[in-house]
Amino acid sequence: MNLKTRSDDLALLLAVIEFGGFSAAANALNIQVARISRSVAKIEKALDTTILIRTTRRVMLTDEGRKFIDAVRLGLHHIKNAESDVMRNSKLPQGKLRVDAVSPFIFHQITPHINAFANAYPDIELELNSNEGIVDLIEKRADMAIRIGNLEDSTLHAKALGRSPLYLVASPKYIAQNGLVKTPSELLNHKLIGFSNIKSLNQWPIKGLDQVSPTLTASNGETIRQLALSGIGITCLSGFMVNADIQAGRLVSLLEPYRVNGTDRELINAVYYRSSAVAERVTAFIEFIKPRLTL
């Protein structure tokens, strides 16, 4: 496609109209008047049409010039927007990003926002992997991991995502059948659901309560949540898993006066290697997901 006019010449023509004359436009743009005159003359010659009527005091548009200028303004506006879109998209992070987290965190906190993340970062190819324990990022080929609890690996860079309080919960069905627990000692007379793979998760943050001995265990937090929802027993889970259940009345928070807040188990961090080549993608993901978390 061969255009008879150049965008830089058209921009100078618009400047003449905007500033009300050749000299005013030249002063505003800090260029010589002759350059603007040449550009306008080139446009008029190329179109074989008079665009401007020049007088000693001012310049006026011809009827043809007025129609042409309106179209040029719109065209240059579209070009500017197109350039801005390309420049903005070219600066967006690109490539593969592997994120590792325990499956309940992926289910409840990440997957609800994946569509929005894909729209915001269309060139990031996201891979979500779930593991129920702490993983080695290199061994699992993960670019970043979301870890719950206290961090011990000093070789990793950590970005705090927040705290998720722990709650003792049971379903209304279980409470109706077995009675409401009023003191920690009464837990000994109830069915307790705990973790089978990480024993420290069976240390419930309740005053006067040592590590519990569950009557039913599972290795996955979401499995434990489902068991509690079905009315099988009492369990202790993070708020990021059960906040919505408590608000909706599907689960009831127990022993609130005895609950201990501020334990290390509440900590949630995103971890990754500081020198990682995918740091830009990691940062984009963290900054996107952090304000959307409901911990």
73 and 103 both lie in a single domain: no
Residue 41 sits in a domain of what CATH number?
1.10.10.10
32 and 52 both lie in a single domain: yes
240 and 187 both lie in a single domain: yes
Residue 15 resides in a domain: yes
102 and 86 both lie in a single domain: no
Q: Which of 27, 61, 90 is the last residue of a domain?
A: 90
Q: Which of 34, 66, 90 is the last residue of a domain?
A: 90
Q: Is the pTM of this model over 0.85?
A: no
173 and 237 both lie in a single domain: yes
Q: Which of 61, 90, 119 is the last residue of a domain?
A: 90
157 and 173 both lie in a single domain: no
Residue 285 sits in a domain of what CATH number?
3.40.190.10
For 202-229, write each residue's pLDDT tens digit. 889 998 887 788 999 998 899 999 999 9
For 259-277, write each residue's pLDDT tens digit. 998 888 889 999 887 665 6
The pLDDT > 70 percentage for the chain reads: 87
131 and 201 both lie in a single domain: no
pLDDT of residue 192: 95
Residue 2 resides in a domain: no
Residue 130 resides in a domain: yes
Distances (CA, A) of 235 to 73, 116, 190, 232, 251: 66, 33, 10, 10, 10
Residue 1 resides in a domain: no
149 and 274 both lie in a single domain: yes
pLDDT of residue 135: 46
Q: Domain of residue 22: give its range.
A: 7-90
Which residues of the chain carry a pLDDT beneath 70?
1-5, 56-57, 77, 80-90, 132-141, 153-155, 274-277
195 and 212 both lie in a single domain: yes
pLDDT of residue 155: 67
151 and 277 both lie in a single domain: yes
For the chain, the domain total comes to 3
User: Which residues 6+ apart lie within 8 Å of 107 measured at CB?
Assistant: 222
170 and 256 both lie in a single domain: yes
184 and 61 both lie in a single domain: no
pLDDT of residue 170: 96
pLDDT of residue 11: 82
Residue 185 resides in a domain: yes
